[in-house]
Structure 1
Amino acid sequence: MTLAQSVLAQTGAASPALPTPGVVTASPDAPAGQQQGSSTSQSAGVDSTSLGEIVVTAQRRAQNLQDVPVAVTAFTADQMEARGVSTVTDIARVSPSLTVTENTNATGSSINLRGIGTFSFSIGIEPSVAIVVDDVALLQQAQAFSGLSDIARLEVLRGPQGTLFGKNAAAGVINIVTQGPTSTLTGAIGATATTDEQYRVEAMISGPLAKDVGFRLNAFYDDRQGYIRNLNTGNKLNGERNYGVRGRLDLDPFDRLNVALTGSYSNTRSDGQVRTFRSLNPGANIFGAPVQASVDGTDLGDSNYRIRLDTEPKNVSKQAMFTSRATLDLDTANLISITAYQDWRFHFLEDFDQLGTPTLSNPAVPTSAPVPNGSIATASFHARNFTQELRLVSSGKRKLDYLVALFYAKGNTDRDYSRRPNTAASWRADATTQTMAAFTQLTYNITDRTHIDAGLRFNRERITGSFLNTTPGAVPVANNATCLAECSGRSSDNEVTYKFAVRQDLSDAVMIYGSYATGYKGQGFDISTGFTPARAANPVRPETSKAYEVGIKSRFFDNRVQLNLTGFWTDFKDFQAQAQITLPDGSIVPQLSNVGALRSRGVEAELSAKVTRLLRVDASAAYTDAKIRDFSNAPCYTGQTAAQGCVRVGTGAFQDLSGATLANAPKFKYNIAATQDVELPSLPFDGFVTGEFAHQSRVSFDLLGSPVSYQRAYGVVNASIGIQSRSGREFRAALFVNNLFDENYSTSLQYAGNSNAQAVVQLLPRNSRRYAGIRMRVGF
């Protein structure tokens, strides 16, 4: 018996050598464990009348999803494939309380849980939602937008998770677990082709190399054409071409010792995301150029997929990650060492004025010389992060289960930025973070049915930030309010977070729980255009939270129905919020502020049911009330008047946002999906039909409350039909359609450039229009 199999046996999970249909297994001392391969959920549905068990690592140990006192949504690889989840943005469609706010490039996008997320231009601010891949947190949230490949399981943990996952998990965690080596030689190749010209191929081979040595190798190539037509060139924008490879080697060099070595690399090149114009007022101009000339031939409105640009955007993301995981079996516990290094490079070029005509070199002087290609912005990022974690985890069933760990991380991110010639700005910056932490998670089993869970984390962090203004012709301003030489700052902070939960098993299939947790997101430097010595001396204050949660996890009717309900109430203090301020000269300056207080509360429900032996239904719903409680000195939004609540004091402009709803926090969000298996006894395969409807209510994308930033409520229908092998060699083929009824919607709305509230632009994602395709997978 291998070490992975031994640990699985101790925790009660199925052994990889003896897979149970519909059961997803994971070792607490290996991200995915050794896997026998994956049986599709549809096949499991043909053979079983009950729901399968899902084992998750939400508390850094293998546990049945229904035994974890945390609001968790978990998806297996087959469930993700059946519902078309291939990117992080797709997760928002199938997970309650999760939304994604997209920007023109990944560095400006944010992932939000229960209305809480971090939208920041600064490289010195960490996200509120941590992205964790095989137990290693990504340094920059933008690294997560490179697509998903060879995933064994994906978990969405809602609410503060800082005691186990660290200070960048103040609102929750997306925990991604990749596939591990199989115990026998297996392989597969998959392909996807769509009507909007996406062509993807992915291949995998896995198995033993020798006794006590296993491997897995996965590679993919994806080429997707754009869907926004640039009328100036005839090219399609917002397309993407990417490829990647991941390799893993598992070794048992000595008795009781397992070592897993993983390396991955991905390269993504895209020509977007670009925004299109939704509306404009007569006479609207940007940097002195009339907007009307750049919208001729387009379809102004919420279904405008045409634009005129004189400079087409380019984004390039290159990411490498290396992880070593060593596990020593000490009989009563496992000693685990996780060492990781990640390197991410990103570069973007974009048309800052969003026009297809020349702008004026001096917008205030109508006779000034035209600028042929308008205003262009470029930036380069380079992030490196080293982490080391040492963890001692008890094994087997005992009165007291424990996890004790030490953690160290050192991260560094560089950024160069240039915008020219209008409102010219160029600078170089660097941000570092060094973290040392000690944490523990204890479970005391008072009786067989009464359990107490407690977690504690001590975190010490040191941060630095430096900024050098390289804008040609920059001159000093009053009160040393600009950085002509290098501005730099440093700070440190200590914080203790904790969590306490009580759970009671009312029966073998029904558990209720209540928990209280504190959350913390570290301080940071607002390193962006407009950085000043004052910002260097005063980092943005840490964000803290207090979270209350109650829930019930249950199964009924011989495990045919699973219903999980959660009620939550979280109070945040000094929430870190990003805004863009338009100055009197028309220049746009990012500004990060601490919101005094906000509150997120609501109810979530998740349902899975085997209605019949061949029909499965999955549904989730969330009601979220996420509001600002105190933000009396908030900046005014672009174009806001005194009648709309903007108060001018000297050169500043302020509004009171107390009582306002958070950005991209829909009050209602739900989805329902059904899979009907079709037995075809006279054929060597069976069929299946799936359907899904996802809906969310009206939202605003602007924290400052701009009236043009509201996206109306919408719902999207996806469907598929296909065949799959009944036994033996894996085979699956499906015809699918996305957004069946062509429901257009945006994931970002704002005023264009310095149009002084005269023109509105939108970001329309790929999934906002209908497309169809075929997806196939063959394995052995």
Structure 2
Amino acid sequence: MGNQGRIHVFLKSSLIVSISALAFAQAAQAQEAPEQGLEEIIVTAQKREQNMQDVAVAVTALSGEALTNRNVATVGDLPRLAPSLTLTQGNVPTNNSINLRGIGTVSFSTAIEPSVAVIVDDVPLLQQAQAFSGLSDIARIEVLRGPQGTLFGKNASAGAINIVSKGASDVFTGAVTGTATTDDQYRVDASLAGPLGESAGFRINGFYNDRKGYIRNLQDGSRLNNDKSYGVRGRLELKPAEGLKLDVTASHTVSESDGFARTYRAVPAGAAVFGTPVAASIVGVTPGEDNFNVRLDHPLFNKSRQTTVSGRATLDLGFADLVSVTSYQDWKFRFEEDFDYTISNVLGIPGGIVANSSYAATQFTQEVRLVSPTKSAFSYVVGLFYADGKTDRSFARGPSGPVVANWTSRSQTQSYAAFAQATYDLADTTHLDVGARLNHEEISVRFLNNAPNANPPANNATCLSLCTGADKDTVVTWKTSLRQDLSDQVMVYASFARGYKGQGFDISTGFKPSRAANPVRPETSDAYEAGIKSRFFDNKVQLNLSAFWSNFRDFQAQSGVVLPDNTIELTLNNVGRVRTRGFELELSARPIPTLTIDSALSFTDTRIMSFPGAQCYSGQTTGCVDLDGAGPSTVKGQDLAGKRLPNAPRLKFNVGGTYDILLPSLPFDGFVQADVAYQSAVNFDLLSNPLTVQKGYAVVNGSIGIDQNDRGGLRVALFVNNLFDKRYATNISVAPGGSVGLLHQALDRNSRRYFGIRARYEF
């Protein structure tokens, strides 16, 4: 089926869901509820509270209720509901990549920032891996597409995910939610909020989650890819004086698992890892896209601990609000991995190759901004920002080829920024937005090689003991947009943004003096966007459409590069030029008070425009050419110009509907919810290996349940994930040290069908 055909399927699916649900509603509805349209959605996409329909940004806003109803428990579940958003899943969270419009960053270095920033309650996370610790008691998640660096900083070159937790309450309220599933997950969420006198309020929430693993280790019968986690968050809101508000939040989460095991997708005859046959390691294992079994002789382990404390003060100056946000975060993570994924003594080492690593990251941030009222012809946000982040890492791995890895490192980043964004009404219906950010950054690295007897290539020696480096950079980014109100509820806009992602040191095995002296260059982009935001039919239909075109220069990507002496080095490098373009459509409707429909579609064309001399993929023949031009060579390369970026589907869409069944004679109402999400084929390899392709797939989810009529009360839902048990991988890669065609895959928990029950009591 071609892309045009899939778009037709999406449109037909939306129409069928709408007509079918409407017909069912008209037949089953016992009592007509009062007329009610779509609710107004308030977002903080521009550092102030605004109606989403008035913001010249492509943004998807998901309420806490929608996240719960759609079974979204982690950031990794968001791609099902947000257009242009994908997740590339690594063997550990530090190798995960959140991608928007085909743009993301996969890097082994702790000093390279992601292309998509994650902000939690106005606090930017230092490491993107911190975002995968689970979600609880969330008020709203905003997915902002396109460069957001003017207001959110230098690590938002492709977009940002803004997570807002629930706040205190003027009345005493609480809730308890329990979830149990057929794949052995048991989870409890609880929250309590209320006033503390006339000038204070509080909120406290916690969760506990225990999910058994879904990958079976046939060697010892254990279940891998489990999740045992818990967390607590406390919030205190004070109004000590007229016009002054204080908000203090502290949270702590812990997540532990028996690793994230990859399974064999393909094992050619005679396949080997570092020269050792894998035949003994696949006894009882049937490689393929539905393989959930492994055979490992070493346990896997991941553990994450995260503590964040933040304070927000807002002072009403009359002409504007003065806002101060101070935060400190502490994140620790460690993992242990069976690197060779066999039960053999690879390279003659008893037990084979084992890798283990630990991270310790801290960051202090301070932001001060002046926010004017919005109801004037001229409004503005002006601010200053400071951040000091440090990440310590240790890494040890047995021999893999000729190199032994055993090192420690520290990376540090200090950022100073001044930013401003203003809106001026050229006329009653014409608005001009202009913003700019001046960012100065100082970076440093300290790398200690604890394996001085390693045998690196003689012409490209690693650090023999200690390597240090430092650099700094100053840049101005900016954004401008023009908005035109065609009516009270229809707005069109056009915008341009200069995106930027800072330079960084490639801290990984093989670090050497040349890396310390020459950090990876900054990534820059020019982004053009035009769109329409609209509501029709008495607020019952919302249609938002955006078209975008972005050109990236010095795109940062992890791969191999060919050095001047015709040797290949696996490293983080600057791909020459990358382009992403396409459009996104979001349609929501509430044709009757008991029926809500949400749908989204994205078409993305992401291409490498220039990347000569890239490494050939394993086993490549076509397009892999001699680079020195002097005849046969042992080192070859390819030109990746025209190839797509990894994990960038051309087409994604989701359609969902919720129908409330009114039962006036009973103490509760009923509801039915269903949604389908589809994405087209992707290649997970930057080098375009044809073996690492995941075909297009669709996943159907649904739920049915009861909800008490009065405010709060009990809500019970029976739900199913992946109704038709569709298998799909969230990453496919060539096994490290493996023969041509020996493939690993990452299988997400949601790539299998499971059923569950969720009960929530609210008072």
Instruction: In structure 2, give the amino acid aligned to 1:195.
Output: T
1:183 pairs with 170, 181, 186, which one?
A: 170
2:414 pairs with 434, 438, 441, which one?
A: 434
1:505 equivalent in alignment to 2:505: no
1:85 equivalent in alignment to 2:72: yes
1:253 equivalent in alignment to 2:245: no
> Which residue does 1:228 correspond to in 2?
215
> Which residue does 2:626 correspond to in 1?
647
> Which residue does 2:654 correspond to in 1?
671
1:383 equivalent in alignment to 2:361: yes
Matches within 5 A, 1:348-359: 348-359=335-346
1:687 equivalent in alignment to 2:685: no
1:392 equivalent in alignment to 2:375: no
> Which residue does 2:616 correspond to in 1?
636
Instruction: In structure 1, give the amino acid aligned to 2:318.
Output: D
2:381 pairs with 403, 414, 418, which one?
A: 403
Equivalent pair of 1:582/1:638 in contact (CA under 8 Å): no
> Which residue does 1:570 correspond to in 2?
550
Tell me the CA shift for residue 648 of structure 1: 5.0
Q: Say which SS state the counterpart of residue 681 (structure 1) adopts.
A: coil
1:469 equivalent in alignment to 2:452: no
1:297 equivalent in alignment to 2:297: no
2:577 pairs with 589, 597, 611, which one?
A: 597
Equivalent pair of 1:465/1:489 in contact (CA under 8 Å): yes
Equivalent pair of 2:562/2:615 in contact (CA under 8 Å): no
Equivalent pair of 2:562/2:637 in contact (CA under 8 Å): no
> Which residue does 1:743 correspond to in 2?
726
1:722 pairs with 705, 729, 748, which one?
A: 705
Matches within 5 A, 1:142-161: 142-161=129-148
> Which residue does 1:656 correspond to in 2?
639
Equivalent pair of 1:529/1:589 in contact (CA under 8 Å): no
Normalised by the length of structure 2, the TM-score is 0.93
1:412 equivalent in alignment to 2:395: no
Tell me the CA shift for residue 729 of structure 1: 3.4
Inter-CA distance 506–476: structure 2 relative to 1 (3 Å threshold)? closer
Q: CA deviation digits over 1:167-212, x for unaligned, max 9?
A: 0000000000011000011111111000000000011000112221
Matches within 5 A, 1:174-573: 174-361=161-348, 371-423=349-401, 424-471=404-451, 473-474=453-454, 478-479=458-459, 481-573=461-553
Instruction: In structure 1, give the amino acid aligned to 2:713.
Output: E
Instruction: In structure 1, give the amino acid aligned to 2:499.
Output: G
> Which residue does 2:90 correspond to in 1?
103
Equivalent pair of 1:191/1:199 in contact (CA under 8 Å): yes
> Which residue does 1:606 correspond to in 2?
586
Aligned-partner Cα distance in 1 for 2:678–2:178:
29
Aligned-partner Cα distance in 2 for 1:333–1:157:
26
Inter-CA distance 215–588: structure 2 relative to 1 (3 Å threshold)? farther
> Which residue does 1:166 correspond to in 2?
153
Cα RMSD for the two superposed structures: 1.7
Instruction: In structure 1, give the amino acid aligned to 2:95.
Output: G
Instruction: In structure 2, give the amino acid aligned to 1:505.
Output: D
Aligned-partner Cα distance in 2 for 1:60–1:539:
32
Equivalent pair of 1:120/1:577 in contact (CA under 8 Å): yes
1:53 pairs with 24, 37, 40, which one?
A: 40
Tell me the CA shift for residue 85 of structure 1: 1.3
Q: Say which SS state the counterpart of residue 708 (structure 1) adopts.
A: helix
Range with bigger deviation, 313-322 or 476-485: 476-485
Q: Quick one: percent identity of the two aligned structures?
A: 55
Aligned-partner Cα distance in 2 for 1:253–1:639:
69
Instruction: In structure 1, give the amino acid aligned to 2:162.
Output: N
Instruction: In structure 1, give the amino acid aligned to 2:695.
Output: R
> Which residue does 2:81 correspond to in 1?
94
Aligned-partner Cα distance in 2 for 1:47–1:254:
41
Aligned-partner Cα distance in 2 for 1:758–1:80:
39
Matches within 5 A, 1:690-769: 690-769=673-752
Q: Say which SS state the counterpart of residue 360 (structure 1) adopts.
A: helix
Q: Say which SS state the counterpart of residue 671 (structure 1) adopts.
A: strand
Inter-CA distance 396–751: structure 2 relative to 1 (3 Å threshold)? closer
Equivalent pair of 1:133/1:177 in contact (CA under 8 Å): yes
Q: CA deviation digits over 1:435-466, x for unaligned, max 9?
A: 00000010111222111111010000000112
Inter-CA distance 523–581: structure 2 relative to 1 (3 Å threshold)? closer
Aligned-partner Cα distance in 2 for 1:530–1:372:
25
Aligned-partner Cα distance in 2 for 1:79–1:517:
31
Aligned-partner Cα distance in 1 for 2:140–2:509:
39
Tell me the CA shift for residue 84 of structure 1: 1.3
Aligned-partner Cα distance in 2 for 1:187–1:682:
27
Q: CA deviation digits over 1:721-752, x for unaligned, max 9?
A: 01111113332110000000000000111111
Tell me the CA shift for residue 360 of structure 1: 3.1
Tell me the CA shift for residue 82 of structure 1: 1.3
Instruction: In structure 2, give the amino acid aligned to 1:420.
Output: G
Aligned-partner Cα distance in 1 for 2:72–2:211:
16
Q: Say which SS state the counterpart of residue 204 (structure 2) adopts.
A: strand
Unaligned runs of 5+ in 2: 1-28
Aligned-partner Cα distance in 2 for 1:290–1:620:
47
Instruction: In structure 2, give the amino acid aligned to 1:749.
Output: I
Aligned-partner Cα distance in 2 for 1:58–1:776:
32
Tell me the CA shift for residue 480 of structure 1: 5.8
Aligned-partner Cα distance in 2 for 1:541–1:453:
30
How many residue pairs were aligned? Answer: 724
Instruction: In structure 1, give the amino acid aligned to 2:754.
Output: Y
Q: Say which SS state the counterpart of residue 49 (structure 1) adopts.
A: coil
Instruction: In structure 1, give the amino acid aligned to 2:356.
Output: T
Equivalent pair of 2:452/2:464 in contact (CA under 8 Å): no
Tell me the CA shift for residue 55 of structure 1: 0.4
Aligned-partner Cα distance in 2 for 1:646–1:240:
46
> Which residue does 1:13 correspond to in 2?
none
Inter-CA distance 596–91: structure 2 relative to 1 (3 Å threshold)? same
Instruction: In structure 2, give the amino acid aligned to 1:414.
Output: D
Equivalent pair of 1:291/1:355 in contact (CA under 8 Å): yes
Aligned-partner Cα distance in 2 for 1:581–1:680:
65
Aligned-partner Cα distance in 2 for 1:605–1:476:
51
Tell me the CA shift for residue 358 of structure 1: 2.6
Equivalent pair of 1:582/1:754 in contact (CA under 8 Å): no
Equivalent pair of 1:608/1:618 in contact (CA under 8 Å): yes
Aligned-partner Cα distance in 2 for 1:581–1:299:
35
Aligned-partner Cα distance in 2 for 1:466–1:701:
32
Aligned-partner Cα distance in 2 for 1:477–1:705:
27
Q: CA deviation digits over 1:63-106, x for unaligned, max 9?
A: 10100000000011111111111111111110000000001110
Q: CA deviation digits over 1:643-699, x for unaligned, max 9?
A: 342435567442100010010000000000011110111110101000000000000
Aligned-partner Cα distance in 2 for 1:606–1:746:
26
> Which residue does 1:771 correspond to in 2?
754
Q: CA deviation digits over 1:461-505, x for unaligned, max 9?
A: 000112111126225753562101211111100100000000011
Tell me the CA shift for residue 758 of structure 1: 3.9
Aligned-partner Cα distance in 1 for 2:289–2:210:
27
**Which of structure 1's runs of 4+ aligned residues deviate more than 6 A?**
none
2:58 pairs with 38, 47, 71, which one?
A: 71
Equivalent pair of 1:568/1:601 in contact (CA under 8 Å): yes
Aligned-partner Cα distance in 2 for 1:295–1:581:
33
Aligned-partner Cα distance in 2 for 1:552–1:763:
38
Equivalent pair of 2:561/2:573 in contact (CA under 8 Å): no
Instruction: In structure 2, give the amino acid aligned to 1:504.
Output: Q
